[in-house]
Structure 1
Amino acid sequence: MYAFVRSAPTRTAHPLRRVVLVLAVTFAVLVAAGWLVNARAAEPGPLERQLALWTQATIADRPLPDPDAPAERIAAFFAALDPGQARTLADRYPLVVGNLPGAPLTLRYQANRLAIEDARAEERRRAEDARLSPEGQWEAGRRANRLASLLREDRQILAFDPSGRGRVAEVFGDLEAADRVSLVVPGVNTDLLTFERTEGRWSAPAGMARALYAEERSRSPETATATIAWADYDAPRGLTMSAVTAGSAETGAERLLATLRGLPDDAELALFCHSYGSVVCGLAADELPSSVTDIAVTGSPGMRAERVDDLGTTARVWAMRAEDDWIGGIPHLAIGPLGHGNDPSSPTFGARPLGSGGASGHDGYYLPGSASLSNLARVGNGTAASAGCAPEAPDCAPLTPCG
């Protein structure tokens, strides 16, 4: 991801100066080549097409609400409908209703099931389309299989959009009854196909949230909890230029804030931000609702801030990084649009440290049975210490004094 400039034989360049020079040259080349300008707009996807119809439609002679209206206004609109009218809207515009913060949760689950059924039928058709290349048919078959798994009776899909690489969010537990809600924001390579995995399942968004939910329930069974696997943004694909810039994170932060504002307002929320997901959380931090009490980052490349105070949030900020996580070897800098700033696990950042015992590599923080998962669950349950380490975590040494 980074090139290295050879220094002159008679002089050794300072490592930091060398990194800055490389980043500056890389940025100049990319601007000159036009790589950092916005891509041409894609054709409208299924969600966009339904939104266009929604804006022109009515129900019982009433116009439908603006999908970008505050969640409270959306909730009031649906509260005035009878069940049959609400279900009619879900049947006609499943992608709109299924992605509408403020709409009743049960109705969103039902709408997304309809939307997933439609998307699966389309992918099955494409998998049999002889006009596609063998690779295209194979890819369509993979998507059809992933969509079939999302249709299991126990799945509660909070958001779904089949456009592009696909976006999805899933709830574990009873979101309406929860006193504590944990939301997992994953990093690069997140899309419909990687939302869950058979191998390395605890490194995929669904597996991370499922493991966190089980650990929270195990550690504090008396606490009503729910977790959300939130893969509802267009994450960078691989360690490309988009992964070292903030474009995807900026749009992701807007989507994250819309999601949070549409959640039940009587629950306390904790964000669990992995890898590039911590960039998303960092950019959203200063607009988070007051119900967000904690932000825990794992394997972070930075949060677009140099210190916790720069985030502009009242939430407690926690940081965890495994000793062998390769993310620790990247330059934690921000030069123009490149890089994401200081390392949240550095003492100079000021986050509250969490022990990473049992975690291995960049994607092993949610491994069942690990101390790292146990510490994250304490944050989710609201039972972590008020400062410094999570209680009973012998491998967690505070970077700042515990008060």
Structure 2
Amino acid sequence: MRRYRRTLVAAALMATLVSGTAGWASGTAQQPVTGPPPGTADWRHDASLGRALPDPETATPAQVARFFGTLSAEQQRDLAERHPGVVGNLDGAPVQLRYRANALAISKDPRYQRLATGGGRQIIAFDPRGRGTVAEVYGDLLTARHVSVVVPGSDIDAKTYDRSKDPYGTPAGMATSLRTATNGRTAVVAWAGYTTPVGVGLDAATGELAEAGAARLARFTGGLSAVGAKAPALFCHSYGSVVCGLAASEVAARDIVVLGSPGMRADSVGALRTDARVWAAKDPSDWISKVPNVEFLGLGHGADPAGKDFGARRVPARTAHGHTGYFAPGTDSLRAFAAIATGGDVR
């Protein structure tokens, strides 16, 4: 009974926080981007090869990879040029072909010209729907001995994922910092591949956006495996850790690292049903500690992954500062992340 009363009190506090009366930012309701990529209808009707093309909605990444393996380089380029929106987002398609397709798709969309790849940018996913989703690769996915994927939290989209303000709170800033900390020994993907919450409102306190993101993340990592990339370490920040928690049993990942997490929608590492090593970091000054670790009537994300009873391996974060300081150069957390990213341990 006492535990039930504590849960009710925590749930009431969560509702108060989400409503904004405790000083939290008010969020704007978001609709998750789901379904096949733009241009799918034309792709499905393309009979140029004399056979059906793999359906972007139902074909697995392995099936997509096998299909492209039957094509000549000229046939692959032709498909990318005719259907850049599909090929650029088709998990299992050749990596370099996806870069080429997304460069074409971006060149046709005046809203996202800043993502143009003339400077050597490697955009492995780009979807202009909604606020826009994008994923950028740093390094060589196919030759790197280690691969990492950064999964961000709230307020990240195709226009903000690499903003210069608060860089270590963005997936691009986290990715480049991690790659530098490993001396270039790992390829890193800044994966802003799902619709994130805006502000800290109801979307951030519930799991709808995370559920949609988890399905996209699982498919993305399946695509990495299908083209021969190493199983990645996932670095999941804030609400991104909710995404990773929901995806844990499906993603092809070697490690799952959560930082500044409000919860993973699981009571323990065992409840995640994953063979990956699970790590958690939370610095003493992170405001996320004020978020009640409950899940009640759809609000909240459950147990604290950095709590001793959750069972995650602890990542030191004594010298990190605030909610977005975990990847800052010189911090103990970044040194630990670099060790995990290159397959090592943290002591």
TM (norm. structure 1) is: 0.77
Secondary structure of the residue aligned to 1:190 is coil
Tell me what 1:20 maps to.
11
Q: CA deviation at 1:75?
A: 1.3
Partner of 1:135: none
Structure 1: gaps (5+ residues): 1-13, 28-37, 124-143, 385-389, 392-403
1:216 and 2:154 equivalent? Answer: no
In structure 2, distance between residues paired with 1:344 and 1:173: 30
**Counterpart pick for 1:116 among 106, 122, 132:** 106
The yes-or-no answer on 1:379 pairing with 2:321 is no
Aligned match of 1:287: 250
Cα drift, residue 82 of structure 1: 1.4
Whole-Å Cα distance in 1 between the matches of residues 52 and 123 of structure 2?
Answer: 27
**Matching of residue 233 in structure 1 with residue 224 in structure 2:** no
Distance in 2 separating the partners of 1:150 and 1:306: 43
Q: Which residue of 1 aligns with 2:25?
A: none
2:158 matches 1:192: yes
RMSD: 2.5
User: In the alignment, is residue 65 of structure 1 matched against residue 28 of structure 2?
Assistant: no
| Cα distance, 1:152–1:111 mapped onto 2, change above 3 Å | same
Give 1:56's match in structure 2, choosing from 45, 58, 61. Answer: 45
Per the TM alignment, residue 372 of structure 1 is displaced from its structure 2 partner at its CA by: 1.2
Q: Are 1:94 and 2:61 matched, yes or no?
A: no
Counterpart Cα distance in 1 of 2:91 and 2:69: 14
- 1:166 maps to which residue? 132
Question: Unaligned stretches of 5+ in structure 2?
Answer: 19-28
Secondary structure of 1:286's partner? coil
Partners of 2:162 and 2:16 in 1: CA distance? 38
SS at match of 1:58: coil
C-alpha distance in 2 between matches for 1:252 and 1:382: 26
Equivalent in the alignment of 1:243:
204
Q: Report the more deviating stretch, 240-249 or 60-69.
A: 60-69
Partners of 2:234 and 2:279 in 1: CA distance: 10
Q: CA deviation at 1:23?
A: 5.5
Asked whether the 8 Å contact 2:155–2:199 carries over to 1, the reply is yes
Secondary structure at the residue paired with 1:318? strand
Distance (whole Å) between structure 2 residues aligned to residue 246 and residue 235 of structure 1: 11
The number of residues matched between the two structures is 331
Matches within 5 A, 1:261-276: 261-263=222-224, 264-265=227-228, 267-276=230-239
**Do the aligned partners of 2:30 and 2:198 also contact (CA within 8 Å) in 1?**
no
1:247-258 to structure 2, matched below 5 A, reads 247-258=208-219
Once residues 207 and 55 of structure 1 are traced to their aligned partners in structure 2, the CA distance between those partners, rounded to angstroms, is 37
How many angstroms apart in 2 are the aligned matches of 1:26 and 1:239?
9
| Counterpart AA for 2:55 | D
Q: Secondary structure at the match of 1:103?
A: coil
Equivalent residue for 2:315, pick from 354, 368, 387: 354
- Note the 1:292-307 alignment, pairs <5 A: 292-307=253-268
- For 2:311 and 2:31, locate their aligned partners in 1 and report how far apart those are by CA, in whole Å: 41
- TM-score when scaled to structure 2? 0.89
Q: Is the 8 A contact 2:217 2:251 kept in 1?
A: no
Look up the match of 2:298: 337
Q: Distance in 2 between matches of 1:39 and 1:226?
A: 31
Q: Distance in 1 between matches of 2:256 and 2:229?
A: 18
Deviations 1:272-309 (A, max 9, x none): 000000000000111223xx221110000000011111
Which fold has the larger relative contact order, with Cα–Cα distance below 8 Å and residues 6 or more apart in sequence? 2
Give the superposition deviation at 1:16: 4.9
**Partner amino acid for 1:176?**
L
How far apart are residue 95 of structure 1 and its match?
Answer: 0.9
Aligned 8 A contact 2:141 2:229 in 1: no
Partners of 1:328 and 1:41 in 2: how far apart?
A: 27
User: Quick check: 1:109–1:158 contact (8 Å CA) kept in 2?
Assistant: yes
Q: 2:123, 2:231 → 1: CA distance? A: 21
- 1:318-345 CA-to-partner distances (Å, cap 9, x unmatched) read 1001111000011010002110000111
Conservation of the 8 A alpha-carbon contact between 1:179 and 1:268: no
Correspondence for 2:96: 106
Q: Which of 305, 314, 331 is residue 370 of structure 1 equivalent to?
A: 331
The 3-state SS of whatever aligns with 2:232 is: strand
Q: 1:198 to 1:41 in 2, by over 3 A?
A: closer
Deviation at 1:45, TM superposition (A): 11
